[in-house]
Structure 1
Amino acid sequence: MKKVKYYYDPENLAYKKIKVRKRTKFAYAALFLTAAALFGVLAFLVLLNTPFFETPKDRLQAREIENFKLNYAILNKKMDQIDEVLAEIEDRDNNLYRTYFNTAPIPEEQRKAGFGGVNRYKELEGFDNSELVVNTSKRVDVISKELVIQSKSLDEIAKLAKEKNKLLAAIPAIQPVRNENLRAVASGFGYRTDPFTKARKFHAGMDFSAKTGTPIYATGDGVVERADNTASGYGNHIVIRHGFGYHTLYGHLSKYKVRAGQSVKRGDVIGFVGSTGRSEAPHLHYEVHKNGEVVNPLNFYYGNISAAEYVVISKLANQENQSLD
């Protein structure tokens, strides 16, 4: 039964029936339908964002996200393994290679340093899994930087190793006259009696007494800097520049077998014993220079004599006798 509504008319002192116009009824109906539509849309949107209402696309995306998370987890495990291997290489680099070549180790803070300044990962922020993605990206960048540093370090070590081999070949490390050809070690390094003035004078090398024509050997790799008789007192002499601050001088030669500018190897015959210049008898006057200073040649014969032979030569060389030049 249709419900009828009334209102009280105070002028006529009576109740009168409320009459609703059709326009008003239509407006109420339209308002109701609009509200219902809005409520339906809102309810649909809420359902779309709840786990109770998933479309096939949503399920596919969820599986892809889980797959990405798994791949990131696997990637982080692999980076853990890379970190372990890289740490072992870095340890050997600092404590073995760089120690052997007397080079300062690379500080840990330099190897592990991050990237300052601008936020490199801003575009990765603001997503559901941003923390995982950002942290993984940071680890990849840090490992990449460590690998670059380690690669440069190994390049440096390789260069040092190459230089080390050159240094070992360049150091004057053998006697310039072989023991079987020696008459005696006539005089050593230090103050000796001059054979001409009989005054006590500093002798800057060692004198090896041998027959004229006895072969003289280059004591280290190098380049012949001079082979002439223009230096006072040395007569025919040879100077070899070995590099790394080393020079050797061979004096009083009878003749040369090399010329200025020629490269020589340790053990090459460069000339022959004589008695030219300021010399009392056939012998080789031999000097070693390091960074412009004369040093005792006795310290550089470890390449071709035994310990027993060294002791004998050392005793003879240290006797304060008369030199031959």
Structure 2
Amino acid sequence: MSKVKYYYDSETLAYHKIKAKKGKKIGFMLLFLVASALFGFLCFIVLLNTPFFETPKDKLQAREIENLRIRYESLNRKMDQVDEVLASIAERDNNLYRTYFNTSPIPEEQRKAGFGGINRYKELEGYNNSDIIITTTKRLDVISKELVVQSKSLGEIAKLAKDKEKLLAAIPAIQPVKNEDLRHVASGFGYRSDPFTKIRKFHAGMDFSAKTGTPIYATGDGVVRRADNRASGYGNHIVIKHGYGYETLYAHLSKYKARVGQKVKRGDIIGYVGSTGRSEAPHLHYEVHKGGKAINPINFYYGTISAKEYVLISKLANQENQSLD
């Protein structure tokens, strides 16, 4: 019950009740209602931001966020495995493939380089789980770059391997006359006695003694550059240009089975043993040239003979006897 207020009237020397104005009462009531509404609204906001009063939608969003966080963690574990595999490939690439093909390794800083300049991840900032999202995105970017670098490297290795295959096919790697067709190795590379003048002179190839008509084989892939008898002393002869600085010469042929400009493969028959030109008996005079300089052919027979046969042929070829041309 509200208190009754009085005021003293000095004229009548009596107390009178103070009557409240009707408008003032309404104002107090409105102020009270507004204050109550504001207080209720503030309490509602506070309650919404506490875990004790989550709406179904809030709970669903919280579960989705937690699920995404778990997925990001799982993705990072998988990227750890990808990193290990890429590291293994890079190690083989640098220390095996590139070493074999005599190519400089790719520096580690080039393989794992990040992305400088502008902030590429600004739009991912400001969220509760921004750190894990940004870290994962950066790792994906680095791995993607590593894959690009490695892909280019393997493409380069594939090209080198293709060139290497061509080089290996071009190198004169077999005997020009088969062992079963040989009578013997008549003379080797080095200084020998000339069969006509008996003067000691340099013999720039190897002589293979065999019957007239014995097949002669191209010792490596190449193109026939010469097939004529216009070079002094060689008689009927063939010159094959193999590329990579290699050329081979086959002299004293009885007849040809290859023509100028013809592409030949290692093992193709290109002619037959004879005794044309400056020759004392039927044989094949065979030379190997690298960069225009004659080199010992015995170093190039690894494609057809065993280690034991190599030792025997080397011993015979190194004997300082008389050559057949």
Common topology (TM > 0.5): yes
Q: CA deviation at 1:4?
A: 6.1
Query: Is residue 2:324 matched to residue 1:287?
Result: no
**Gap change, CA 1:33 and 1:284, over 3 Å in 2:** same
Deviation string for 1:246-295 (max 9, x for gaps)? 22111222211011222222222110122333434432221112233321
> 2:305 aligns to what?
305
Given the alignment of the two structures, is residue 224 of structure 1 paired with residue 224 of structure 2, yes or no? Answer: yes
Partner AA of 2:91 in structure 1 = D
* Counterpart residue number, 2:140: 140
* Residue 245 of structure 1: how far off its partner (Å): 2.8
Alpha-carbon distance in 1 for matches of 2:145, 2:324: 64
Q: Which amino acid aligns with 1:83?
A: D
- Sort the Cα spacing of 1:57 and 1:184 in 2 relative to 1 into closer, same or farther, 3 A: same
Which residue pairs with 2:259 in the alignment? Answer: 259
Aligned residue runs from structure 1 range 59-74, under 5 A:
59-74=59-74
- Counterpart CA distance in 2 for 1:235 and 1:5 is 149
Match of 1:39 in 2: 39
**Alpha-carbon distance change, 5 to 292 in structure 1, aligned in 2, over 3 angstroms:** farther
Q: Which residue of the partner structure matches residue 12 of structure 2? A: none
Q: Which amino acid aligns with 1:226?
A: R
User: In structure 1, what residue type is equivalent to 2:223?
Assistant: V
The residue number in structure 1 matching 2:53 is 53
CA distance in 2, matches of 1:29, 1:233: 134
SS in 2 for 1:284: strand
SS of the residue 2:116 aligns to? coil
Q: 1:159 and 1:21 mapped to 2: Cα distance?
A: 103
Worse overlay, 192-201 or 167-176: 192-201
C-alpha displacement at 1:68, in angstroms? 0.9
Q: Distance in 2 between matches of 1:291 and 1:27?
A: 113
For residues 176-195 of structure 1, what are the structure 2 equivalents within 5 Å?
Answer: 176-195=176-195
The structural deviation recorded for 1:138 is 1.7
Q: Which amino acid aligns with 1:89?
A: I
| Inter-CA distance 208–27: structure 2 relative to 1 (3 Å threshold) | same
Judged with a 3 Å threshold, the aligned counterparts in structure 2 of structure 1 residues 3 and 230 are, in CA distance, closer, same or farther, namely farther
Q: Output the CA distance in 2 between the equivalents of 1:182 and 1:137.
A: 71
Alignment match, 1:12 = none
Q: Distance in 2 between matches of 1:118 and 1:150?
A: 25
1:121-132 equivalence runs, <5 A? 121-132=121-132
Q: Give per-residue Cα distances to partners, 1:75-106, cap 9 Å, x unaligned.
A: 22222333333333333434444444444443
Aligned pair count reads: 323
Where 2:52 maps in the other structure, the secondary structure is coil
Tell me, what secondary structure is at the counterpart of 2:241?
strand
Calculate the aligned-residue CA RMSD, in Å.
3.2
1:107 corresponds in structure 2 to: 107
Give the residue type in structure 1 aligned to 2:290: K
Identity across the alignment (%): 79
Question: Structure 1 299/5 Cα, relative in aligned 2: closer, same or farther at 3 Å?
Answer: same
Unaligned runs of 5+ in 1: 10-14
Shift in CA distance, 261/7, structure 1 to aligned 2, threshold 3 Å: farther
**1:7-43 CA distance string (max 9 Å, x none):** 999xxxxx99988765555555544444443333333
1:283 counterpart letter in structure 2: H
Task: Encode CA deviations 1:48-78: one digit per residue, 9 max, x unaligned.
Answer: 2222221121111111111111222222222
